[in-house]
Amino acid sequence: MKHLIQLYVQQFKTTLAMMFQYRASLVIWTIGQVLEPLVYLIVWLVVAKSSGGSVGSYTTTDFAAYFIVLMLVNQVTYTWIMYEFEHRVREGVLSVALLKPVHPIHSDIADNISSKIITLPIMITIAIIFVFAFHASVAPPLWAILVFIPVLLLAFSVRFVLEWTLAQAAFWTTRVGAINQSYFVAFLFLSGQIAPLTLLPHPVQILSLLLPFRWLISFPVELLLGRLTMVETLIGLGAQFGWLIVSIILLRIVWRAGVKVYTAVGA
Amino acid sequence: MSKEKHNPMAYAIHVRDLSKFYVVSQQETGTKAAFQNLVHRRKTEVRAVDGISFDIEPGEIVGFLGPNGAGKTTTLKMLSGLLHPTSGELSVLGYVPSKREAVFLRQITLVMGQRNQLVWDIPAELTFELNQVIYRIPRDSYRSMVTELTELLDLGSLLKKPVRNLSLGERMKCEIAAALLHRPGVVFLDEPTIGLDVTMQQRIRTFIAEYNQRSGATVLLTSHYMADVAALCKRVLVIHHGKLLFDGELSGLLQQFTSHKTIIIQLDNCKANLSNYGEVKSYEDGRYTLRVPKAETARVTERLLAELPVIDLLVEEPPIEEVIARVFAQEEK
Amino acid sequence: MSYFRIFLAFLRVNIYGETAYRINFIIQLFQSLLNLGMTLGGLAIIFTYTNLLGGWQPNEVLALVGVYFLIGGIIRLIIQPGMEQLIESVRDGTLDFRLTKPADAQAIVSLQRVEIWEILEIILGLGVLIYALVKLGEIIGVLQAAEFVLMLTAGGVIIYSFFLILSTLSFWFVRVENILVIFQSVYEAGRWPVSLYPGWLRYGLTFIIPVAFATTIPAEALTSRLNWQTLVGAIALSIVLFIVSRIFWKTGLKRYSGASA
């Protein structure tokens, strides 16, 4: 454990140095992270205004709050491993990692957390500006605020393990682009990034309950908006734990099988 | 090298009947073939390494020779645990590499000439520190090793510069240093001098010898440059088409595979037809280079001295590159 | 048309490199359909709650989506790949090979790479556009059609010039690899009529990153929203920007050859 902490600290230094080199990329990346929820926020505001100030149970201020919190939750839970893993396998960069006496997931987790620590202040600043610009308001009960932090961390863990596992498709196919895109489209709709899930058709809502996506984005967002009862929150926590266990088991199986394939055909 | 009674665990590296076969599906061009590929792929088996055996004692430096695609890199990757052997017996420091146990990985290193572990945009020093943590190197040991490597490789201020600003040679030096921080007992070097200029090659060569001397590490290296092998390795392994052709001292390799010698003579300002003495390889200002079968060297020399106005005569072994090239060319037939 | 022949030559090289990979066609088709499905799904959800978005009817927004795919396809087919290659070759020095060719360097650089399967995105975009126009039931007059083609061309030229200026920055700053990614994420905003957006964003999407000229304005031409000021403005801007980007390119090139000599 002590070694892992040292490893994380050292990785933080490395990531920090790299981020400093990639300042421009950071700005570009931030624009993307901000623009998408912003566009949907604006679209829904227009819709709400044209239909008497609200859609379903969402008023204009609710929409604003929803998409601003969503932007932050997405920022905290976001990973880029699915884009990166293919490159590692194809270019043989993974070989270097496999020669190291530490599981490669650790440097990925450390790297992810490090860059989040660096970018989060920027995102929070933008979020605050948006709160004023779009007159967002949230009034969650105190317990919801307290539960929000562990829920957010769980959402991050599940999303990280899940996407790290899916990224390993690169061991079997060189065409992960199609897999990634299918995943992102499903994620976009079923996690509530296009619209709050209650506004989606009923069958889609049922589907979203069965898949992991909503528990990673929509659930934490609605919790902080004060839209969930305690019972609903407990169900959500249960779903998150369930998916965490499932995804960790999957990760172990897939990683073992993937490395076997990789070391059979060579890099 | 028949030391069969020797306990295999006492070797740093022990390899018996090691093989690696790949199944490669053929990719053909053309619409029809491409469509057929979707349904049924034609597959062929490639024998990258085909039943090789050798043992390496602790502390030895062994050179691994062979043309591209001979199976050198495949063997190194199997030895370092990056590839699963198809069959055969393999142990490095008593471990089975393909299990990739942390205790094993902490005692070896693999440096690949074209593939790097240093992060491109940041100073090498940061990657070093990351390695310190990953390999759990105690602080004192880490510090003294960095000092030692800095001195031996003349790293100086290189560690503080972003890697992308380093020249290829400087980068390679840092790369090698990063790979040795944890004082591995077994070092695999795959083309460590590829693409470097002569002085830098020399420098890295000297360093490898020095490191081996100081640490007693076992070194197995592949190289295109015969000079690397000649300077560093008493013993060489020659591999071709996945098979081991030779295992022994470098001088023995020359003995075994040279069939010809080169005779260079300077004639006293006259042109002569020397083709009945041997194969004329070149002629320039009265200076002839002849290629003569080894067994006839003495007789031909005698005849030349007796029959022609010779000013100077020199008998040479052919260059080692040429010998090797001939070995491979013969195998090809 | 020597440029056209250069284009055809590069096209042939690119297609030749592709034929062994038939499956790329299927994958790209799948991805394009997925992309379209996602966009249409989003529209469907929104239009269950309203029937007018920023003054645009569902079928008008659909026509806009068609234009969005059409132009997006053109960008990824020919504009972006060449510019990415340009940035890359400035960095690793291989631009020299391009410059030694006896033809206009800008033309060579711009036409050097073609992502052939993006043509599917263009076809899909055209399909959506035609479907939407049929649904709208409007008769497209010759004038309107001409306006549309004109605006589409102006939009294309503006986007091309914009890309060229951004990529030319690599002559001064080597680390601009990701600069083109900006456009990609911002372009997503062009899926909706820019009139939806608050003033600062609309301004940004029109004049800073000219997404509006590529999507909204051509779509306006088809849905009888275009006024003559916009029409003239777009044409003028495309000409000015093209000239500016050309000057930019020449200056950058001079600097490049000066520095590398």
Tell me the per-residue pLDDT of A132-168, one tens digit each, with 9 for 90 and over.
999 998 888 999 999 999 999 999 999 999 999 999 9
Q: How far apart are CA B225 and CA B242, in angstroms?
A: 20
When mean pLDDT is compared across A154-158, C18-22, C85-89, C219-223, the lowest value belongs to C18-22
Closest CA to C176 of A25, B76, B90: A25
Q: Which residues from chain C sit within 8 angstroms of residue B38, using beta carbons? A: 22-23
Q: Establish if B72 touches chain A: CB-CB under 8 angstroms.
A: no
Name the B residues in 202-231 with CB < 8 Å from any A CB: none
Tokens of B128: 């070093």
pLDDT over 60 (residue A212) = yes
- Supply the ipTM of this predicted assembly: 0.87
pLDDT over 90 (residue C156) = yes
Q: How far apart are CA A116 and CA A104, in angstroms?
A: 19
Share of chain A above pLDDT 70, in %: 99
Q: How far apart are CA A125 and CA B91, in angstroms?
A: 57
Element (H, E) at B44: strand B43-56
pLDDT over 90 (residue C256) = no
Neighbouring-strand partners of residue B279: B291
Instruction: Say which residue, A111 or B275, is predicted with more confidence.
Output: A111
Q: Which residue of A has its CA nearest to B103?
A: A101
Per-residue pLDDT of B39-75, as tens digits, reads 555 678 888 999 999 999 999 999 998 887 888 989 9
Per-residue pLDDT of B221-278, as tens digits, reads 988 777 888 889 989 998 988 999 889 988 888 777 777 788 888 887 666 777 778 8
User: Residue B114: which pLDDT band, with cuts at 50, 70 and 90?
Assistant: low
User: How close B135 comes to chain A (CA, Å)?
Assistant: 7
Q: H helices within B80-225, ranges in order?
A: 102-105, 124-134, 139-153, 168-180, 198-215
Q: Establish if C54 touches chain A: CB-CB under 8 angstroms.
A: yes
Kindly list the partner chains of chain C, i.e. chains with 3 or more CB atom pairs below 8 Å.
A, B
Probe site for chain C from A22, A27, A33, A35 (most C CB atoms < 10 A): A35
pLDDT over 60 (residue A103) = yes
pLDDT of B224 reads: 75
User: Residue B207: which pLDDT band, with cuts at 50, 70 and 90?
Assistant: very high
Share of chain A above pLDDT 90, in %: 68
Query: Does the distance separating the beta carbons of A175 and C45 come in below 8 Å?
Result: no
User: How close A3 comes to chain C (CA, Å)?
Assistant: 35
pLDDT of A166 reads: 95
Phi/psi zone of residue C53: left (φ > 0), alpha (ψ -120 to 50 degrees), beta? beta
Q: Looking at residues C123-144, what average pLDDT do you find?
A: 88
Probe site for chain A from C49, C64, C169 (most A CB atoms < 10 A): C49
Q: How far apart are CA B193 and CA B174, in angstroms?
A: 13
Q: Which residue of C has its CA nearest to A193?
A: C42
Chain C residues with CB under 8 Å of a chain B CB are 19-23
pLDDT over 80 (residue B3) = no
pLDDT over 60 (residue C260) = no
Closest CA to A138 of A71, A199, A191, A66: A66
Per-residue pLDDT of A113-138, as tens digits, reads 988 888 899 999 999 999 999 999 88
Q: Which residues from chain B sit within 8 angstroms of residue A7, using beta carbons? A: 130, 133-134
User: How close B312 comes to chain A (CA, Å)?
Assistant: 55
Distances in Å between the Cα of B140 and the Cα atoms of A194, B108, B147, B154, B333 are 55, 20, 11, 21, 57
- Which of B28, B29, B38 shows the shortest C-beta gap to C23? B38
In what side-by-side order are the strands of the sheet with B186-190?
Answer: B108-112, B186-190, B218-222, B61-65, B235-240, B243-249
pLDDT over 60 (residue C14) = yes
pLDDT over 80 (residue B34) = no
Query: Does the distance separating the beta carbons of A11 and B130 come in below 8 Å?
Result: yes
Q: Which residues from chain C sit within 8 angstroms of residue A46, using beta carbons? A: 53-54, 196
**Mean pLDDT over the full length of chain C:** 87
User: Residue B6: which pLDDT band, with cuts at 50, 70 and 90?
Assistant: low
User: Residue B317: which pLDDT band, with cuts at 50, 70 and 90?
Assistant: confident
Q: Looking at residues C4-17, what average pLDDT do you find?
A: 75
When mean pLDDT is compared across A6-15, B84-93, B286-295, C63-72, the lowest value belongs to B286-295
pLDDT of B293 reads: 85
Where exactly are the structural domains of chain A? 2-261
Between chain A and chain B, how many beta carbons pairs sit less than 8 Å apart?
78
Q: Which residues from chain B sit within 8 angstroms of residue A100, using beta carbons? A: 105, 134-135
Residue type, B256: Q
Query: Does the distance separating the beta carbons of C19 and B27 come in below 8 Å?
Result: no
Q: Which residues from chain C sit within 8 angstroms of residue A28, using beta carbons? A: 178-179, 181-182, 185
In what side-by-side order are the strands of the sheet with B279-284?
Answer: B279-284, B287-293, B260-267, B310-316
Per-residue pLDDT of B8-33, as tens digits, reads 668 899 999 999 998 876 555 555 55
Q: Looking at residues C23-37, what average pLDDT do you find?
A: 86
Per-residue pLDDT of B265-292, as tens digits, reads 888 766 677 777 888 888 877 788 888 8
Cβ C83 vs Cβ C163: under 8 Å: yes
Q: How far apart are CA C153 and CA A169, in angstroms?
A: 41
Probe site for chain A from C36, C40, C45 (most A CB atoms < 10 A): C45
Q: Which residues from chain C sit within 8 angstroms of residue B27, using beta carbons? A: 20
- Which of C27, C41, C196 shows the shortest C-beta gap to A42? C196
Q: Looking at residues A202-224, what average pLDDT do you find?
A: 96
Q: Establish if B30 touches chain C: CB-CB under 8 angstroms.
A: yes
pLDDT of B96 reads: 94
Q: Looking at residues C187-204, what average pLDDT do you find?
A: 91
- Which of B115, B133, B162 shows the shortest C-beta gap to A92? B115
Q: Which residue of C has its CA nearest to A198?
A: C45
User: How close A173 comes to chain B (CA, Å)?
Assistant: 14
User: How close A51 comes to chain C (CA, Å)?
Assistant: 7
Element (H, E) at B65: strand B61-65
User: How close C95 comes to chain A (CA, Å)?
Assistant: 23
pLDDT over 60 (residue B38) = no
Q: Establish if B109 touches chain A: CB-CB under 8 angstroms.
A: yes
Q: Establish if C201 touches chain A: CB-CB under 8 angstroms.
A: yes
Query: Does the distance separating the beta carbons of B129 and A100 come in below 8 Å?
Result: no
pLDDT over 80 (residue A49) = yes
Query: Does the distance separating the beta carbons of A28 and C179 come in below 8 Å?
Result: yes
Q: Which residue of B has its CA nearest to C21?
A: B34
User: How close B119 comes to chain C (CA, Å)?
Assistant: 16
Tokens of C227: 């006024």
Strands B287-293 and B260-267: antiparallel
Top mean-pLDDT range of A15-24, B111-120, B171-180: B171-180
pTM recorded for the entire structure: 0.85
Q: Which residues from chain B sit within 8 angstroms of residue A263, using beta carbons? A: 81-84, 98
Q: How far apart are CA B74 and CA A193, in angstroms?
A: 47
pLDDT of B4 reads: 47
Name the B residues in 130-169 with CB < 8 Å from any A CB: 130, 132-136, 162
Query: Does the distance separating the beta carbons of B102 and A10 come in below 8 Å?
Result: no
pLDDT over 50 (residue B2) = no
Q: How far apart are CA C151 and CA C213, in angstroms?
A: 8
Cβ C248 vs Cβ C241: under 8 Å: no
**Mean pLDDT over the full length of chain A:** 91
Query: Does the distance separating the beta carbons of A263 and B83 come in below 8 Å?
Result: yes
User: How close C177 comes to chain A (CA, Å)?
Assistant: 8
Query: Does the distance separating the beta carbons of B38 and C22 come in below 8 Å?
Result: yes
Q: Establish if B123 touches chain A: CB-CB under 8 angstroms.
A: yes
Kindly list the partner chains of chain B, i.e. chains with 3 or more CB atom pairs below 8 Å.
A, C
Share of chain B above pLDDT 70, in %: 89
Q: Establish if A263 touches chain C: CB-CB under 8 angstroms.
A: no
Q: Establish if B27 touches chain C: CB-CB under 8 angstroms.
A: yes
Element (H, E) at B14: strand B13-25
Tokens of A262: 């990789």
pLDDT over 90 (residue C17) = no
pLDDT of B14 reads: 95
Q: Looking at residues C207-224, what average pLDDT do you find?
A: 90
Q: Looking at residues C200-226, what average pLDDT do you find?
A: 90
User: How close B82 comes to chain C (CA, Å)?
Assistant: 29
Query: Does the distance separating the beta carbons of C41 and A25 come in below 8 Å?
Result: no
User: How close C220 comes to chain A (CA, Å)?
Assistant: 19
Q: Looking at residues A166-183, what average pLDDT do you find?
A: 89
